[in-house]
Structure 1
C-alpha cells in the first residue's frame, strides 16, 4: 500500500529484519496447467507446492472449478531460492508408473538483486554492484601505480668496483 506517497509493505516478522533491505519473500501466482479438476483443493495442492513455498489461497475459478484447464494458486515464495518447472505427483517417488509430472508456471515474478537486497532489478543490473566494482578497480590501479613508483625510486646498487 502507499501512505503519503511512500510504499508500505506488511510482512511477517523475522529476527534478521533490516529496514534498508527489501524482503525476498513475496506472494506470486502459480499456474498448474492440466491438473485434474478433482485435485483443485487446498488439502491436495498445499503439500504438492510445499517445496516451492507456502500456499496462501486458490483463485475463485479454481475453488469453483469453473476453469478446468488449470488451477491458479497464490504462493508465498522466497525469491532467492530456485523454483522448479515441474513437480512429481504420485504415491511412490521411486515407481514412476504411479503418478505424473506436473508442470509449474509462474506469473509475474519480481526481480530481486541478491547484491543490494532490493526488488526491481537483477544483480547484473545493480548500480550498487557496478559502483563497488568500479571502486575496487580504481583501488587496485592505485596500488599497482604505487608499487610501480616504489620500484622506480629504489636506489640502484653501486656499480663501481
Structure 2
C-alpha cells in the first residue's frame, strides 16, 4: 500500500516511492504504476476471486479487488487494482467465454 500512494510528506520532507530494479538509475522514473481497471457487465460466474485474478494477469500483476466487487455491492462492474508497465500497449476489450457464445 505504500507504493499505491507514491508520494508522502514525512517530517516536512517530500518523499517519492517508486518501483526499484537493480538495473535502474535512481533518477529514472519507473514506468510501473498501479491503476484501477474495470470489467463492466461481467456475468456473475466471472466475479469469483480466482477468475478475477486470472483476468488481472492479462494486464500484469493483480494487487487487489475493490471492496464493492468482493462484497457484491456493485454487480454491474468489477474493479481491480493492477500493477502495469505503462510503456506497453494493452487491449481495450477482452473476449470472454466460448468462441461463439462469448462476449466482449
TM-score normalised by length of structure 2: 0.80
- Residue 57 (structure 2) aligns with: 50
Greater CA radius of gyration, 1 or 2? 1
The alignment status of 1:20 with 2:27, answered yes or no, reads yes
Q: Distance in 2 between matches of 1:40 and 1:5?
A: 42
Given that 2:66 and 2:81 are in contact with CA atoms closer than 8 Å, whether structure 1 keeps it comes out as yes
Q: Give the Å deviation of 1:10.
A: 4.8
Q: Which has the higher contact order (CA 8 A, sep 6+)?
A: 2
Unmatched runs of 5 consecutive residues or more in structure 1: 102-161
Structure richer in helix, relative to its length: 1
TM-score normalised by length of structure 1: 0.54
- Residue 65 (structure 1) aligns with: 72
- Residue 35 (structure 1) aligns with: 42
- RMSD across aligned C-alpha pairs, in angstroms? 1.7
Unmatched runs of 5 consecutive residues or more in structure 2: 1-7
- DSSP 3-state at the match of 2:73: coil
- DSSP 3-state at the match of 1:15: coil
